[in-house]
Amino acid sequence: MRATIMYGPGDVRVESVPDPRLVEPTDAIIRVTHASICGSDLWPYRGLDDRPFGPNGIPMGHEAIGVVEAVGPEVRTVKPGDTVLMPFAYSDGTCVFCHEGLPTACVHVGFFGSPEVGGAQAEAIRTPFADGTLFPLRAEVDETLMPSLLTLTDVMATGHHAAVTAKVGPGKTAAVVGDGAVGLCGVVAAKRLGAERIILLGGHPDRIALAKEFGATDIVSDRGEAAVERVRELTGGYGAHSVLECVGTEEAMRTAILIARPGGAVGRVGVPHYEAIPASDPAFYGNLTIGGGPAPARAYFAELLPDVLEGRIQPGRVFDLTLPLDRAAEGYRAMDERRAIKVLVKP
């Protein structure tokens, strides 16, 4: 089959690789119909990750919708022919953390887009713990909904997680740090959870336009101290109740803490490419709550799916470029150069 492999910074190739096959009795093989390139794929693409590429490169992609092609003998809840959502992490569905709604802390957790299980930017992928991981769509789904459904496998679930851990609620002011696909989904999530005011910190005109359509009420395009000042001005000097940190850089996290109102919460979902969080002021003296982490996407499907199926949210609008699998490398370039917000890849 064809699959996307990254061999080093800026070096993405779509190549012929062996077809995936069932290894464990709990595995499923799915034929990928929709995959995407994630902002987090840009970290290694830009040479900003510690992860070694190795001589065989890294199979890329961790977000997919597909059709089940084969299942191991112990798989019970999906069967060949089912259309399924595949979240970015696999999980057994039976451990204490899965039961507590935190499958990204599953005792068997693993992440797609790795040499062990392969990547989703490919014609097919092996899914460990298929029962715990895959979420079958029970009805025929219109193709136009597929982009929004695909976001549930990562970016929309992640934006939602940022909003939940930032304690967004009715009447509150939310600030979203970052205008990437996750930040934009954070706007969707904040709106959905009732935020009265949603301040997006971002500078890219196309993304700002989409953020406004998603429900952002204010835009702050300054950076650093100026951004902090501007958010303070917009919030009567106090800051935002809920801050969604959707970038993962030291500057973004620092900004997130500085624009939070005393007693407020920061939900951080950008994979941290920084060592530490400033401990003292304002995090401690402002009684801030700092939460977040890898979104338990699988656990959020049931809550978010109806809103997508019934058209109340359209996070799939973050996809502004669709490419066939063989042109995946173009997608990386477009996202790296910020010509595209998010790229949908169709095998």
Candidates 39, 159, 183, 296: give the one binding a second copy (CB under 8 A). Answer: 296
Closer to a second copy by CB, 96 or 226: give it.
96
Residues 101 and 109: their CA atoms lie apart, in Å, by 13
Closer to a second copy by CB, 262 or 306: give it.
262
Q: Applying CB under 8 A, does 226 fall inside the site for a second copy? A: no
Chain positions 152 to 211 lying near a second copy, rule: CB under 8 A, are 165
Stretch that binds a second copy, among 38-46, 94-102, 146-154, 330-338 (CB under 8 A): 94-102
The tokens for 131 are: 């029962």
Residues 273 and 256: their CA atoms lie apart, in Å, by 15
* The pairing of beta strand 58-59 with beta strand 2-8: antiparallel
Stretch that binds a second copy, among 53-61, 221-229, 292-300, 308-316 (CB under 8 A): 292-300
C-beta separation of 107 from 129 below 8 A: no
Closer to a second copy by CB, 267 or 347: give it.
267
Residues 252 and 232: their CA atoms lie apart, in Å, by 16
Candidates 289, 314, 323, 346: give the one binding a second copy (CB under 8 A). Answer: 289
Candidates 222, 293, 320, 321: give the one binding a second copy (CB under 8 A). Answer: 293
> Per-residue x/- marks for a second copy, 97-116, CB under 8 A?
x--x-x-xx-----------
Closer to a second copy by CB, 51 or 76: give it.
51
Smallest distance from a second copy to CB 280, Å:
5
Residues 30 and 38: their CA atoms lie apart, in Å, by 20
C-beta separation of 7 from 53 below 8 A: yes
Q: Applying CB under 8 A, does 292 fall inside the site for a second copy? A: yes
Smallest distance from a second copy to CB 113, Å:
16
Residues 142 and 27: their CA atoms lie apart, in Å, by 27
Amino acid present at 121: Q
Smallest distance from a second copy to CB 105, Å:
3
Closer to a second copy by CB, 27 or 92: give it.
92
- How many residues bind a second copy (CB under 8 A)? The answer is 34
Q: Applying CB under 8 A, does 232 fall inside the site for a second copy? A: no
Stretch that binds a second copy, among 67-75, 129-137, 284-292, 313-321 (CB under 8 A): 284-292
C-beta separation of 12 from 60 below 8 A: yes
> Per-residue x/- marks for a second copy, 258-277, CB under 8 A?
----xx----x--xx-xxxx
C-beta separation of 212 from 230 below 8 A: no
Residues 193 and 251: their CA atoms lie apart, in Å, by 27
Q: Applying CB under 8 A, does 286 fall inside the site for a second copy? A: yes
Amino acid present at 178: G
Name the packing angle between helices 250-258 and 224-234 (round to 10°): 30
Stretch that binds a second copy, among 77-85, 168-176, 226-234, 278-286 (CB under 8 A): 278-286
Residues 91 and 109: their CA atoms lie apart, in Å, by 5
* The pairing of beta strand 342-346 with beta strand 319-324: parallel
By the 10 Å C-beta count (0-12 exposed, 13-18 middle, 19+ buried), 203 is classed as: middle
Residues of this chain that interact with a second copy (CB under 8 A) are 96-97, 100, 102, 104-105, 165, 238, 253, 262-263, 268, 271-272, 274-280, 283-294, 296
